[in-house]
Chains A and B, each alone.
Chain A
């Protein structure tokens, strides 16, 4: 199946710093990428939909100034958590839609711990 690479897999940062997470589709072009947040033993919560070359669409309640999403190319989307605080600690996962046929492939996730 298609491969989505997400980096880093784990990051620890101090409160107030910014963290960038990268999501790459390695063997296909992804017009649309999705960013999710997942708390322990809970489902995936969609944060935003990222479309190449345009502004991301954020879900209700998600601060777009805090979670900056950039989708500058068909193979790369980034999520930057700005001025991170302990409550932002979570597992962040990206996904990309393959071939426009609704097959969704996920990155391996990034565990963010803010001290």
Chain B
């Protein structure tokens, strides 16, 4: 059973656009929601993370929106660049015991 559902599977945007990737979860015990960026042939890198006590977190061009009642969270990339082209994974964990990953979104930013 997929603990974290992620959509879309792939996304293509023009440079400067704002891609949005969505994730949903069921287990209300999750208390940490990170996003990872992965380039081909490399391990994922932590991008930004949020805890359920806040509804939004922004770091540079990356913003997480969190809706606790809907059990959803999303990643927004402002002013997207071709260098942002990568696969993005959302994840959820409870007390850091185990991380559950979404299925990934392949983002392509066209120059």
Contact = CB atoms under 8 A, between A and B. Distances in A.
Chain A residues touching B, majority SS: strand
B46 A109 contact: no
Contact of B89 (A44, A91, A94): A44
A102 B104 contact: no
A103 B43 contact: no
Contact of B43 (A41, A101, A109): A109
What is the interface residue range for chain A against chain B? Answer: 20 to 34
A43 B4 CA distance: 11
Interface of B: 32, 34, 36, 41-46, 49, 87, 89, 91, 93, 95-96, 98-99, 101-104, 106
9 contacts: A4-B43, A43-B101, A95-B43, A101-B96, A104-B46, A106-B44, A108-B43, A109-B41, A109-B43
